[in-house]
Amino acid sequence: MNNFPVQLNELKTAIPTWHSTVDSAGFRAACATIREHGGRLIALWGSDERARGQGFALHAALMDAPGLICLSLPLAAENPAYPSIIDIFPAATRMQRAVYDLLGILAKDSPDTRKWLRHGAWPEDQFPLRKEFDLKQQYPLSGDAYPFVTVTGNGVHEIPVGPVHAGTIEPGHFRFSVIGERVLRLEERLGYKHKGVEKLAETMTIEQGAKLAGRISGDSTVAYAWAYAMAAESLASFTPEPRAVWLRALLLERERIANHLGDLGYLGNDVALAFGFAQFWRLKEDWLRCNQAVFGHRYLMDSIVPGGVTVDLKASDHGHLIKQGDLLEREVRTLRDIYEEHAGAQDRFVTTGRVKPDLAANLGLTGLAGRASAQSWDLRAQYPSAPYDQLDVRMATHRNGDVAARLIVRFEEVFESLRLCRLILDRMPGGTVFTPLPPAPDNAFGIGMVEGWRGEVLMALHSGKDNRIERLHPHDPSWLNWPLLEHAIIGNIVPDFPLINKSFNLSYSGQDL
């Protein structure tokens, strides 16, 4: 790439990716340049490189028009610190706080250095992702004081909710500041589901990591497993068999459809259209049972591994899957008309929970929610890896950024995924579906990124000796979208929060790790 402030080296992976080792000034300059180009921050994570005779390192993954750019910033072994980038990318705030909690790497000049993932599970002066920290060491729970930002004024009061919620929802804490029923401010606190995933990965071989990757966020097991496999394959300079990647895409689109069906049902339910819930959840159940019958698992867990896939289609599955897709399409079209014409439901959807395009761009709203606020990013369309390079994916976008827009994008994506499933089934090449991966070289870096149903799922993988995982950083798109939910609720009434929250449907487990 020309006119870039640092030297970039192209990495061999399924989507166009460049890597650069930078110093502090280069790090900020590269971030600023990408920001000027209209690019985005995807992920920020750290690593402990002391066993290799170095210090620590900070890594960032950013998206610019030509593709993914990964930056690595080597840091000192004592008191590692780097210049904060939240003035360039506000979305970095929580990631910087998490990097400190896990590695003790400090963002200098950051206005927000509160803890994020730590809570009271380990002491302030211990850092789980430092190599000397023992995975199995349990500490007594320490106090968990957390300074929420408070809003003062006449008639303002606070409503704290969670971590345990009223329905079947993952745990997190929401603190609303309200006047009457109007929300002035929402502050989220997450991290309740932190279960040591990244540290645990460091005890595994690259092969074993696949199972863990598929359990980082259960609703996105296919996206995570594929991104992981892609990272492992890029490390080993390995290209999977054509049939394997076509099957992966089929699984990914089936996962997208299943999740969208569930959300469309819940969005109906939240506006008192119980009919919509019953209909979409009946369709989802049929879809999951078909997964079970054809691929052996309702959610398709463990079907993607480095080297290929563990499932294959029989000749007789083809007609069955085509027929099921056609049937589903007809049903969803009928239901879409009903949703569109239902005045009561539309009244609740339209203008509710709005994120305008400029705010979405500034804070980096991504994935499905981003596309509903005019952020036209979809890896399958922009950086199509096989087989998407042969499928010509049509990206769904909308400008209104409200619950209605996120609903419409879901409908459109269901139809597009059904079209893709049909194409994939018709054009899928023959051949084998799995070839064992050659052992990964020591100290290599691989990256994988997949457009999951929620948005882009990233996996950064660093290999150690004997095919082991030295460092794994899974990154959920929810990191970028959670802060926007805080904005989407402002000015709305508290009873609309469940509807707005559901319209984003973000992952807790994926960001808590």
Q: Using CB under 8 A as the criterion, which residues of the chain lie in contact with other proteins when the complex forms?
A: 119-122, 128, 133-139, 141, 144, 163-164, 166-171, 191-197, 199-200, 211-212, 215-219, 221, 262, 275, 277-279, 281-282, 284-285, 288, 298-299, 301, 334-335, 337-338, 341, 507-509, 512
* Closest to ligand SF4 by CB, 218 or 491: 218
Say which residues have a Cβ less than 8 Å from residue 461's Cβ, sequence separation at least 6.
206, 209, 228, 231, 232, 235, 445, 446, 447, 448, 469, 471, 472
Strand partners, 173: 189
- Secondary structure of residue 48 in the 3-state scheme: strand
Q: Which does 191 bind (CB under 5 to 8 A by kind): other proteins, ligand SF4, none?
A: other proteins
Q: CA 193, CA 239: separation in Å to the nearest integer?
A: 35
Q: Which H/E stretch holds residue 258?
A: helix 242-269
Question: Residue 211, interface with ligand SF4 (CB under 6 A)?
Answer: no
CB 488 within 8 A of CB 504: yes
Smallest distance from ligand SF4 to CB 215, Å: 4
Residue 377 binds which one of other proteins, ligand SF4, none, with CB within 5 to 8 A depending on kind? none
At its nearest, how many Å lie between other proteins and the CB of residue 72?
Answer: 26
Q: Is there binding between residue 431 and ligand SF4 (CB under 6 A)?
A: no
User: Where does residue 183 rank: exposed (0-12), middle (13-18), buried (19+ CB within 10 A)?
Assistant: buried
CB of 468 to ligand SF4, least distance (A): 22
**For residues 267 and 363, which CB has a smaller minimum distance to other proteins in the complex?**
267
- Cα–Cα distance for residue pair 438/423, rounded to 1 Å: 31
Residue 62 vs 212, nearer CB to ligand SF4: 212
Cβ nearer to ligand SF4, comparing 218 with 441: 218
φ, ψ dihedrals at 61, nearest 5°: -115, 125
Which H or E run contains 210? helix 209-213
Q: Please tell me the count of residues contacting ligand SF4 according to CB under 6 A.
A: 2
How far is the C-alpha of 135 from the C-alpha of 347, rounded, in Å? 51
The one of ligand SF4, other proteins, none whose footprint includes residue 471, by CB under 5 to 8 A per kind, is: none
Nearer to ligand SF4, 40 or 199 (CB): 199
Beta-strand ranges (E) seen in 140-226 are 156-161, 173-179, 182-189
- The conformation of residue 470, written as its DSSP 8-state character, comes to E
Cα separation of 39 and 393, whole Å?
21
Binds 394: which of ligand SF4, other proteins, none (CB < 5-8 Å by kind): none
Of 474, 393, 14, give the one whose Cα is nearest residue 240.
Answer: 14
Residue 215 engages ligand SF4 in binding (rule: CB under 6 A)? yes
Query: Minimum distance between the CB of residue 247 and other proteins, rounded to whole angstroms?
Result: 21
Q: Closest CB to other proteins among 214 and 401?
A: 214
Burial of 299 (0-12, 13-18, 19+ CB in 10 A): buried
Q: Which residue lies nearer to other proteins by CB, 169 or 184? A: 169
Please select the residue that binds ligand SF4; options are 38, 90, 123, 218, rule is CB under 6 A: 218
Min. distance of Cβ 218 from ligand SF4 in angstroms?
A: 5
- Please give the residue ranges that form the binding site for ligand SF4 (CB under 6 A): 215, 218
